[in-house]
Amino acid sequence: MKEYWQKALSVDGYMDIAKERATNNPNKNDEKQEYYELGLQRMERTLKTFKMDEAQLEKLKTKNFGGKVLIISEPWCGDASATVPAVSKFFEQGGNEVRVFLRDSDTSLIDQFLVNGTQSIPIVLLLDEDYNVISNWGPRPKFGTELLKKFKENPETYPREEFYNDLQVYYAKNRGKDAIEEILDLL
């Protein structure tokens, strides 16, 4: 895990890659281009509107978590664009180092944390001081998972567009609070 940590980006480095891919992608035929642009808008909005929850910060202090937070992500991912900025800001403010590992740069890490057999992101890894995984969370808060389940069970009555819209409205209003709470409960 230490090697993955060392290969990971700072949160600022991750944001720099998101900006580059959204505005000046070296891959001119990137099929994810529109998602990079959307992801960057969402991440910037989350960073601008994120408000530290003092009760959650207190909860973090009571956990005596002195480890690190490694997030497996990609800037094109809708779930990640809503979650990564809030989670990283929260833990950095709490005194923990946070890094982001690009899933697509080396899939050997994400393959250790598959969700229902898929490489779903973001995955938040809580590491102790010796880089051992204490716990992991992801790819979305319970409410988002419930929306996904509703969509998969009956896409005729709950179409994809409605699901995506409901999920993004939830993320915009929640601002990472549920994700942070669920991650705190794992400590």
* Token digits of residue 43: 């991440």
Q: 22 CB contacts (<8 Å, ≥6 apart)? A: 36, 37, 39, 40, 75
Per-residue confidence (pLDDT) for residue 83, from 0 to 100:
95
Per-residue confidence (pLDDT) for residue 107, from 0 to 100:
97
Q: What is the mean pLDDT of the chain?
A: 96
Q: Using CA atoms, how far apart are residues 174 and 64, in angstroms rounded to an integer? A: 26
Per-residue confidence (pLDDT) for residue 141, from 0 to 100:
98
Residue-wise pLDDT for 36-74, tens only, equals 999 999 999 999 989 999 999 999 999 999 999 999 999
Compute how many other C-beta atoms are within 10 angstroms of the C-beta atom of residue 127.
23
Residue-wise pLDDT for 69-127, tens only, equals 999 999 999 999 999 999 999 999 999 999 999 999 999 999 999 999 999 999 999 99
Residue-wise pLDDT for 112-169, tens only, equals 999 999 999 999 999 999 999 999 999 999 999 999 999 999 999 999 999 999 999 9
Residue tagged 């993955």 (tokens): 4
Under the banding of pLDDT at 50, 70 and 90, the label for residue 182 is: very high
Q: Using CA atoms, how far apart are residues 172 and 85, in angstroms rounded to an integer? A: 12
Per-residue confidence (pLDDT) for residue 39, from 0 to 100:
95
CATH number at 2-139+179-186: 3.40.30.10
DSSP-derived letter for residue 86 is: H
Per-residue confidence (pLDDT) for residue 168, from 0 to 100:
92
Q: Using CA atoms, how far apart are residues 1 and 135, in angstroms rounded to an integer? A: 13
Residue-wise pLDDT for 156-177, tens only, equals 999 999 999 999 999 999 999 9
| Nearest residue to 183 (alpha-carbon basis) of 82, 86, 76 | 86
Per-residue confidence (pLDDT) for residue 142, from 0 to 100:
98
Prior bond of 155 cis (ω within 30°):
no
Residue tagged 């509107």 (tokens): 49
